[in-house]
Amino acid sequence: MATRAFQRLPTAPAGRILALRLVAIVLSLFIIAGVLALSGHSPLMLSELILRSTIGSRFGLEDLALFMCPLLLTGAAVYVCGMIGLWNIGAEGQFYAGAIAATGVALGLHGPAAVVLPLMTVGGILGGMAWIAVPTLARAHAGVNEIITTLLLNFIAALLTYYLTTGPWRDRISGAQVSTQRIPVSIPEMWGIVHWGFPVAILMVIGLALVLSRTRWGYEIRMSGANPEAAHYAGMPVRLRIISVMLLSGGLAGLAGMFEVAGTVHRLQGGMANNFGYLGIVVAVLARGSCLNVIPAALFMALILDSGIVMQTQQLSASVVLAITGLILFMIAIGDELAHYRPAARSVPGGKAS
């Protein structure tokens, strides 16, 4: 029997994770460059163009912040569910639900922005919570797999958005397709087209990190995620914690939808979720280990989205971004697993025979 050259550690050191992720990302980029070269594009020219028009220009930076804003919130939404060991794959649907609720408030109420905007915020959060309510109760009380229930609701939310924007709320003024009219209020802008939702989203991530690490609630969440049975025997109300975490998650994703409606798009529009919900999963995975990591992870995803726009100008389909995201996620998943391994100690003669 051969001896094992590598030994698996129960937890991976942070430094090794970071190193292997960099390898994973670089490897993904090489694969992408190879595919682009094969399909007749010049990867070098393209990457130069991407750098110049994302972080190399003011417009690029503004776009980056606008992409980051929803990603921070959907990423935090998926992250917080992950803390208790659950996967919220439905941030996309909760995003739509929040956007729908916020638009409903804006279209129904006529008043000063100072009154309407807070009500839209509450509406957006409640919309997201309502959208995750059924999966939450099914998970907490009947143990129904939350991955599938949250995901199916994405399709329903998209259809509901389509119905509203082509039916009762359709734009009767400009006749735009699959869109409501422009809503009368908007979140004030702070830098170019970047609205105040961006710093608020960053503050919310920081606040969430504090709550998760410093409060009893956060401790119970982490305990329930690490070992539900032990948490239960220690007297923690695991079921209630599951409900509160999932509702919080839905609320965060709903808030992302509200920010997008009131700050960026200014109307409810079919397809406006732009995969932000799904990309939130990637953000949360990248952030593994610390909630504050959601911020750099969202920046990274925003860079990819921003690059995607440049690629579209070069006759590359928008869906390429999704494929690239998938590839990077795949490589990172493998990298994270490999980070658990270290060369077996030499001091043990021959190592553990298998």
Positions touching another protein (CB under 8 A) are: 4, 7-8, 87, 89, 134, 138, 141-145, 147-149, 151-156, 159-160, 162-163, 166-167, 278, 281, 285, 316-317, 319-327, 329-330, 332-334, 336-338, 352, 354
Q: How far is the CB of 39 from another protein (least distance, A)?
A: 9
Q: How far is the CB of 218 from another protein (least distance, A)?
A: 23
Minimum CB distance to another protein smaller for 207 or for 271: 271
> Which string of DSSP letters, residue by residue, matches 159-170?
HHHHHHHHTTT-
Q: How far is the CB of 45 from another protein (least distance, A)?
A: 19
Minimum CB distance to another protein smaller for 17 or for 201: 17
Contact 51, 112 (CB under 8 A): no
Q: Quick one: 257 exposed, middle or buried, by C-beta within 10 A (0-12, 13-18, 19+)? A: buried
Q: How far apart are CA 145 and CA 56, in angstroms?
A: 44
CB neighbour list of residue 71: distance below 8 Å, 6 or more residues apart: 276, 279, 280, 283, 298, 301, 302, 305
Q: How far is the CB of 261 from another protein (least distance, A)?
A: 20
Work out whether the CA dihedral 38, 43, 49, 54 comes out positive or negative: positive
Minimum CB distance to another protein smaller for 153 or for 245: 153
Q: How far is the CB of 3 from another protein (least distance, A)?
A: 11
Minimum CB distance to another protein smaller for 20 or for 117: 20
Minimum CB distance to another protein smaller for 138 or for 202: 138
Contact 206, 288 (CB under 8 A): no
Contact 332, 246 (CB under 8 A): no
- Beta partners for residue 189, in sequence order: 195
